[in-house]
Amino acid sequence: MKQSERELLEGARRYDLDALAEIYDRYSPGLYQYAFRLTGDANLAEDCVAETFFRLLRAFQNGQGPESFLQAYLYRIAHNWINDLYRRQPPPPLDLDESHHAEAIDGPELQAEQRLLREEMRAALFRLTPEQRQVVMLRFVEGWENEAIASALQKPVGAVKALQHRALAALRRIFQTDSGKVRNERKTISQGLCKPGSSSSEAL
């Protein structure tokens, strides 16, 4: 029978290996996806997951750690790790030519377009404040309710709603400002993909 979060936490505090393994199996896939969406790098996402669980174990060893809301606690650690990473090493700028060539062999325009959209969204998210970025990711990508986000951020629900409102307004401004430039870049890439002698034409 699947253990409740409370039972898992009680077991983890006793260093029960089955409880610790269950916590890892239950939460590591979601944490990996969360980190990968923010970093765009599989190795960094794996590092983030490893560090998140290391910090959880260290907290238990020090007599600390969560007594409830384990998932929120883990995501808070992961988010803080990513923020610390990009304070030391800012996220790489979006290279549209590189994004195109990475997908052009397999082909084609649709894959390049999808990759561009993902990269544009990731770049836009990093123009938000860290808390705004976390609210957007948890609410609209992970599908969390505001109450769970409030627990992860250790803020009142009203503050979470305000962060969400400001984040969406900021994203709207970012995309409105960048939309003309992005349309021109996409047009250039699309034309390049369709040119005779381009890598995609040769692959076809």
Handedness of CA 21, 26, 27, 30 (dihedral sign): positive
d(CA 40, CA 49) in angstroms, rounded, equals: 14
Our count of domains for the chain comes to 2
173 and 72 within one domain: no
CATH number at residue 112: 1.10.10.10
Range of the domain at 164: 95-204
Check whether residue 114 and residue 203 sit in a common domain. Answer: yes
User: pLDDT, tens digit, for every residue of 19-76?
Assistant: 999 999 999 999 999 998 888 889 999 999 999 999 999 999 888 988 888 999 999 9
Residues of the chain scoring pLDDT < 50:
94-105, 189, 198-204
pLDDT value of residue 100: 39
Q: Do residues 12 and 60 lie in contact, with contact meaning Cβ atoms separated by under 8 Å?
A: yes
Q: What integer pLDDT is reported at residue 126 of this predicted model?
A: 82
Is there a single domain that holds both residue 77 and residue 130? Answer: no
Domain check: are 143 and 71 in the same one?
A: no
Instruction: Fill in the DSSP letter of residue 126.
Output: T
Domain harbouring 79, CATH code: 1.10.1740.10
